[in-house]
């Protein structure tokens, strides 16, 4: 049986997973309409793919291994490692939006590896869809990225992934995905299947099973792999470790099947090697050459993880100690290839690909019962050839045309440079290049400035010379000076001074941030103060208390708006902002100390 190995790549929300689900349903790999590739709870809630996943379908005596990849730039490391293990990609592009930032990123990686993509113009049933223009934009993108003549001669399929329909031509009648499946069979070269040479397998993903331990997902490039066989693991540092395959799985649909042997060209899952990592090679003997290492782009931001030290520490979580936090982060390193961690005695510096990358880790930890507090995200700055450099991002912003001016102004203040601007009906699509430092915290401003109608996507484009100080308008913090339960009477008076993060009845502690101050300076307030009661009759009727709904803090929003002297406290039930020094006297002392250090440094 021939094997085709493909990955489905696209910008976020262009329909990769929906299309994959439709392929599995048509080929009879799933019976339940509710089964989807996005099996993770967070993926289903957010409607995005976070982790790459494997599946396989059978069509015309051919096994098609499919890898569904994330569309968000923060999870680009998931895409990079997958592309090395497949023979072609299905590039999905929205017929209305056309190529977007992540489309460029994943396509460039594919072209660099010499892959010839098969282009799918999806969602052709949308009201504003323009498949011909989208295909033209895709061709221009191929050309801009330096595609060769063979890659430029790509096949285009038109699809409505939601309905499971694909067409070779727009005018064709079709009721299923047969044209797409036929195109995969005809356009994608069969995987090389040399079974009689020594085995070489490379790992591109990891998993874990409570019964068999660590699992390695990899592609067999050469030879035959048998369950129970003794193999050599060639690690990235040159070390060679021997071990035995205890379980061997292949994929059928979304399920994994135990098999006795698998052959070159197939994608398999192996257990028995507890210290195996992504990019390492399994082979028959130590004198075989390891396959080229899989590399991914570097992290761009860092965040400090600490044990929760607030007065409410331990009241919500199950795992609250330093040891438990360290073990959880060590476990994350086993499967999250885009993450790096510096382990220190009392704190851990976590390096990630973006705020969402870090936020997803924190959300998973809180759902597992962990309590943690984190510092403000900091951009990673390096020195290359005696020049200080920092990460830059290409940002695509789409807003109604009446808001374009304020967006250009705000991003310009943050050292962003407008590269291009196009009109799409009453919408403006603008592309900027901006330091990652300038982008941090801007998403909230965009929502406010565009009344929630603005959409923003970004991708890292590399390190460039440091642009100096970036001045951002930041609100001050409204800090509680007492502990207790917030009262409606007090919050009613405080809401005129800024935006509140809490509602009446919320438990607060000294040093906790309960809102922002619109004047820009920090202010210490008493949110638990109640109305003074007397036995004297009031001259007039009491005013009715009308509170504006609180603007609750989420993990992503907290990471955006927090300041350098603050922590974001995350527990299974609550997300709170707090000052690093809870007592006002300690904050003043720390501020004076910082000023003195700055004066000494300038002198």
Per residue in 501-511, pLDDT (tens digit) is: 998 999 999 99
Please tell me the predicted confidence (pLDDT) of residue 307: 93
Q: 374 in a domain, yes or no?
A: no
- Quote the CA–CA distance of 98 and 210 in Å, as a whole number: 43
| CATH number, domain with residue 262 | 2.40.30.10
Please tell me the predicted confidence (pLDDT) of residue 540: 46
Q: 559 in a domain, yes or no?
A: yes
- Quote the CA–CA distance of 553 and 120 in Å, as a whole number: 39
**Cα angle: 451, vertex 456, 458; to 5 degrees:** 160
- Quote the CA–CA distance of 342 and 441 in Å, as a whole number: 25
367 - beta bridge partners?
A: none
- Quote the CA–CA distance of 410 and 473 in Å, as a whole number: 10
For residues 177 and 162, is the Cβ–Cβ distance under 8 A?
A: no
Nearest to 272, CA basis, from 209, 192, 199, 364: 209
For residues 475 and 498, is the Cβ–Cβ distance under 8 A?
A: yes
Q: What is the pLDDT of residues 347-381, one digit of tens each?
A: 999 998 888 888 888 998 999 999 999 999 988 88
Q: 88 in a domain, yes or no?
A: yes
Please tell me the predicted confidence (pLDDT) of residue 577: 93
Reading phi first (left if > 0) and then psi (alpha if -120 to 50, else beta), residue 253 is in left
Q: Which residue has the higher pLDDT, 106 or 316?
A: 316
Q: Which residue has the higher pLDDT, 252 or 35?
A: 252
- Quote the CA–CA distance of 129 and 122 in Å, as a whole number: 9
Structure-token pair, residue 38 = 């996005």
Nearest to 223, CA basis, from 277, 268, 189: 268
Same domain, 95 and 145: yes
Distance between alpha carbon 494 and the CA centroid of its chain, in Å?
36
Q: What is the pLDDT of residues 25-51, one digit of tens each?
A: 888 877 665 555 555 565 555 555 555
Please tell me the predicted confidence (pLDDT) of residue 75: 60
Q: What is the mean pLDDT of the chain?
A: 84
Q: Which residue has the higher pLDDT, 13 or 58?
A: 58
Q: What is the pTM of this model?
A: 0.78
Same domain, 39 and 116: yes
Same domain, 128 and 266: no
For residues 114 and 80, is the Cβ–Cβ distance under 8 A?
A: no
Is the model's pLDDT at 208 over the cut of 80? no
Please tell me the predicted confidence (pLDDT) of residue 40: 57
Please tell me the predicted confidence (pLDDT) of residue 513: 93
Single residue among 164, 187, 210 that ends a domain in this structure: 187
| CATH number, domain with residue 551 | 2.40.50.250
Average pLDDT value for residue range 559-580: 91
| CATH number, domain with residue 144 | 3.40.50.300
Same domain, 77 and 159: yes
Q: What is the pLDDT of residues 433-481, one digit of tens each?
A: 999 888 887 887 888 888 888 888 887 888 889 888 887 666 788 999 9
- Indicate the DSSP class of residue 390: E
Q: What is the pLDDT of residues 325-347, one digit of tens each?
A: 999 998 888 777 778 899 988 89
Coil vs helix vs strand at 325: helix
Q: 387 in a domain, yes or no?
A: yes
Q: Burial level of 173, CB count in 10 A (0-12/13-18/19+)?
A: exposed
Coil vs helix vs strand at 509: coil
Same domain, 80 and 168: yes
Strands (E), 387-454: 387-400, 417-424, 427-435
Same domain, 460 and 552: no
Same domain, 12 and 161: yes
| CATH number, domain with residue 401 | 3.30.70.240
Please tell me the predicted confidence (pLDDT) of residue 291: 86
Please tell me the predicted confidence (pLDDT) of residue 110: 83
Proportion of the chain in helix, strand, coil states, percent, rounded to 5 = 25, 35, 40
Average pLDDT value for residue range 526-537: 73
- Quote the CA–CA distance of 576 and 309 in Å, as a whole number: 12
Single residue among 438, 465, 492 that ends a domain in this structure: 465
Q: 298 in a domain, yes or no?
A: no
Domains identified in the chain, total number: 4
Nearest to 411, CA basis, from 424, 388, 430, 425: 430
- Angle separating helix axes 76-83 and 101-112, nearest 10 degrees: 20
Q: 167 in a domain, yes or no?
A: yes
Nearest to 74, CA basis, from 300, 394, 317, 413: 300
- 5-9, 293-297, 380-384: range with lowest mean pLDDT: 293-297
Q: What is the largest CA-CA distance in the chain?
A: 98
Q: Which residue has the higher pLDDT, 287 or 76?
A: 287
Same domain, 249 and 183: no
- Quote the CA–CA distance of 365 and 368 in Å, as a whole number: 5
The CA radius of gyration of the chain, in Å to the nearest whole number, is 27
Same domain, 176 and 39: yes
Same domain, 22 and 159: yes
Average pLDDT value for residue range 414-438: 87
Beta carbons within 10 angstroms of residue 532's beta carbon: 6
Q: 192 in a domain, yes or no?
A: no
Instruction: Dump the DSSP string for 173-240.
Output: --SSSHHHHHHHHHHSPPPP---SS--EEEEEEEEEETTTEEEEEEEEEESEEETT-EEEEE-TTS-E
For residues 166 and 176, is the Cβ–Cβ distance under 8 A?
A: yes
Q: 308 in a domain, yes or no?
A: no
Coil vs helix vs strand at 500: strand
Please tell me the predicted confidence (pLDDT) of residue 34: 57
Range of the domain at 223: 200-283
Single residue among 161, 187, 213 that ends a domain in this structure: 187
Element containing residue 385 per DSSP (H, E): none
Same domain, 488 and 459: no
Coil vs helix vs strand at 535: coil
Instruction: Dump the DSSP string for 96-143.
Output: TT-S-HHHHHHHHHHHHTT---EEEEE-TTSTT--HHHHHHHHHHHHH
Same domain, 552 and 429: no
- Angle separating helix axes 16-26 and 178-187, nearest 10 degrees: 100
């Amino acid at each position: 049986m021939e094997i085709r190995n493909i990955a489905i790549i696209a910008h976020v929300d262009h329909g990769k997973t929906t299309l994959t689900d439709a392929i599995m349903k048509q080929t009879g790999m799933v019976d339940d309409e509710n089964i989807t590739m996005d099996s993770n709870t967070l993926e289903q809630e957010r409607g995005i793919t976070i982790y790459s996943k494997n599946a396989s379908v059978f069509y015309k005596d051919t096994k098609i291994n499919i890898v569904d990849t994330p569309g968000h730039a923060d999870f680009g490391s998931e895409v990079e490692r997958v592309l090395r293990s497949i023979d072609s990609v299905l590039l999905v592009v929205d017929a209305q939006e056309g190529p977007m930032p992540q489309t460029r990123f994943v396509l460039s990686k594919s072209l660099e590896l010499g892959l010839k993509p098969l282009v799918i113009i999806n969602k052709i049933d949308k009201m504003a869809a323009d498949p011909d223009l989208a295909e033209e934009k895709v061709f221009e993108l191929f050309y801009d990225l330096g595609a060769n003549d063979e890659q430029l001669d790509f096949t285009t399929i038109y699809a409505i992934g939601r309905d499971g329909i694909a067409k070779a031509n727009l005018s064709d009648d079709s009721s299923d995905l047969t044209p797409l499946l036929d195109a995969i069979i005809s356009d994608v070269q069969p995987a090389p299947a040399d079974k009689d040479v020594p085995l070489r397998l490379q790992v591109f993903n990891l998993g874990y099973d409570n019964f068999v331990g660590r699992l390695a997902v990899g592609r067999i490039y050469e030879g035959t792999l048998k369950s129970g066989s003794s193999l050599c693991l060639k690690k990235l540092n040159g070390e060679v470790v021997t071990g035995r395959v205890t379980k061997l799985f292949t994929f059928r649909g979304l399920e994994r099947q135990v098999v006795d042997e698998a052959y070159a060209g197939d994608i398999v899952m192996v257990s028995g090697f507890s210290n195996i990592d992504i990019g390492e090679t399994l082979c028959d003997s130590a004198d075989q050459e390891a396959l080229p290492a899989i590399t991914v782009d570097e992290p761009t931001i860092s965040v400090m993880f600490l044990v929760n030290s607030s007065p409410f520490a331990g009241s919500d979580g199950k795992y609250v100690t330093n040891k438990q936090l360290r073990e959880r982060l060590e476990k994350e390193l086993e499967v999250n290839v885009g993450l790096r961690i510096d382990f220190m005695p009392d704190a851990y510096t976590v390096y990630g690909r973006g705020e969402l990358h870090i936020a997803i880790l924190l959300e998973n930890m809180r759902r597992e019962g962990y309590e943690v507090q984190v510092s403000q995200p900091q951009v990673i700055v390096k020195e290359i050839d005696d020049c200080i450099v920092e990460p830059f991002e290409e940002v695509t912003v789409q807003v109604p045309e009446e808001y374009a001016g304020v967006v250009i102004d705000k991003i310009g203040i943050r050292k962003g440079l407008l590269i291009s601007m196009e009109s799409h009906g009453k919408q403006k699509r603008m592309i900027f290049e901006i330091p990652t430092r300038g982008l941090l915290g801007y998403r909230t401003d965009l929502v406010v400035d565009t009344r929630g109608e603005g959409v923003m996507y970004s991708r890292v484009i590399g390190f460039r010379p440091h642009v100096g100080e970036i001045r951002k308008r930041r609100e001050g913090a409204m800090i509680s000076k007492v502990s207790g339960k917030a009262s409606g009477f007090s919050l009613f008076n405080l809401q005129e001074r800024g935006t509140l993060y809490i509602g009446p009845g919320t438990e607060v502690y000294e040093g906790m941030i309960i809102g922002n101050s619109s004047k820009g300076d920090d202010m210490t307030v008493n949110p638990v103060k109640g109305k003074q009661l007397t036995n004297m009759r009031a001259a007039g009727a009491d005013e009715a208390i009308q509170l504006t709904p609180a603007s609750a803090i989420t993990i992503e929003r907290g990471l955006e708006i927090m300041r350098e002297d603050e922590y974001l406290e995350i527990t299974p039930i609550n997300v709170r902002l707090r000052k690093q020094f809870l007592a006002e006297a300690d904050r003043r002392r720390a501020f004076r100390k910082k000023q003195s250090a700055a004066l000494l440094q300038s002198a």
